[in-house]
Amino acid sequence: MTSNTIQTSLMLNADRSLPAAALTQIASAIHANGSVDYLHVADQMNGWWPPHLWSPQNSPLATMIPDLDSTADPAVLAAYASAAAPGIGITISTDAIRRGPAEMMQTMLTLANLSGGRAMLQIGAGELKQTQPYGWKRSEGLKRQEDHLRYYDEFWKGDGMVSMQGHCWNFDKAWIGGVRPNRPQIYALGGGPKLIDLATSHADGFATVAPNVVATPEKFADMVRSMRNDVAAKGRDPEKFGFCLWVFTLIHDDPEVIRKALDNPLLRWLVAIYGRMNMADWHAYGEMPAFPVDWHYSMKLVPYQYTDRAEVDRILGQVTRKMSELGFIWGNAEQVAAQIQPFVDAGATCIDLVELLPLLLDPADAQASIGRQLDVCARIKKNNLG
């Protein structure tokens, strides 16, 4: 038992195949349960998979959903969810490349008002698959992220009128109005020394991923300790700096369902590209990564470029069963909550479940997945009463 009051978050399905009425029901049911603090909408222009992997052989849902790349605009979806579940928190995760800092702040101020002050932006340096096909330069990601975080910091330090010289944006008395009753939380999303320095200098918190970036609670505890020391050294309050942990999960009461899922090509592809986002980390387990050690999905992956099925099969063939088991936190609700708890003890202030199993299930079981996710959140809440 810990004295930490933990927040929980569930990632909403942002597929445009989801009818508006279904989204309303899902958001309302999650909010009514009382164990979830935030609904999270990820800003994705396309999905993660080579298109031919989305097939009825790999998922029953492929007969109903034409592709995994038809995603909704995150701000619109978040606003709709907020209306369906008044008072629930709203999180958007996106990159610093495709939207300007002032425009993003305008969006987040709007969402903060709609959600009663409970809005969070998680902003990263970007992914190649979200940028290169659409004419953006992924190489500018960290410079643009710095501009974003500095702008947000300046916006709140003063009256909201910002004059600032940035790498990619210059602001000259940039004014979006003085009405700002609710402040959104700004978290840096990603990793690396430069991004962490930006986070501890300007952001309200930091978001990362388990087990794919921080594989163990001990590694996460070291990260939390180091970053809080950096925050304090910069004259900021380390106790007010948050740590949001995305947790990639497979939750089901039937072990056989999970066993089959771990062998499914759709999940094995995810293990190949980011089971460990630092490919060299696989060596600690006696495993060989499916890509070169200097390969990182955010800077290399464009799924629609993988049109050679033999090449995809070769990559999938590199993924062992052990790697699949290490790529997710899995089990029934009680087991998953128990595996997450040490990360809470290590300093996580928000647990954001990213449940992937519904992709592989029949429609009825996929729908029941919400209940299993709520069960995990309820257990986390119960184990961490303030």
CA 50 to chain CA mean position, Å: 21
pLDDT over 70 at 343, yes or no: yes
242: β partners: 205
Measured between alpha carbons, how far is 128 from 137 in angstroms, rounded to an integer? 8
Q: Measured between alpha carbons, how far is 327 from 311 in angstroms, rounded to an integer? A: 21
Average pLDDT, rounded, for the chain: 96
Share of the chain above pLDDT 70, in %: 99
> Is residue 135 within 8 Å of 127, Cβ to Cβ?
no
DSSP 166-225: -SS-EEEEE---S---SPPEEEEES-SHHHHHHHHHH-SEEEEEETTTS-SHHHHHHHHH
d(CA 268, CA 277): 14
Average pLDDT of 264-279?
98
Which domains does the chain carry?
A: 7-257+328-383 (3.20.20.30)
Can you give the pLDDT at residue 132? 96
Task: Provide the residue count of the chain.
Answer: 386
pLDDT tens-digit readout, 52-95 = 999 999 999 999 999 999 999 999 999 999 999 999 999 999 99
Q: What is the DSSP string of 127-157?
A: -HHHHGGGT--GGGHHHHHHHHHHHHHHHHH
Cα separation, 243 vs 348, in Å, equals 5
pLDDT digits (tens, 9 = 90+) for 203-243: 999 999 999 999 999 999 999 999 999 999 999 999 999 99
332: closest CA among 212, 211, 249? 249
Cα(204)–Cα(40) distance, integer angstroms: 17
Read off the pLDDT of each residue in 261-280 and give the average, rounded to a whole number. 98
Query: 385 falls in which pLDDT band (50, 70, 90)?
Result: confident
- Cβ atoms of 149 and 124 within 8 Å: the answer is no
Show the DSSP H helices in 236-355 as ranges.
255-262, 265-274, 297-300, 309-317, 321-326, 333-345
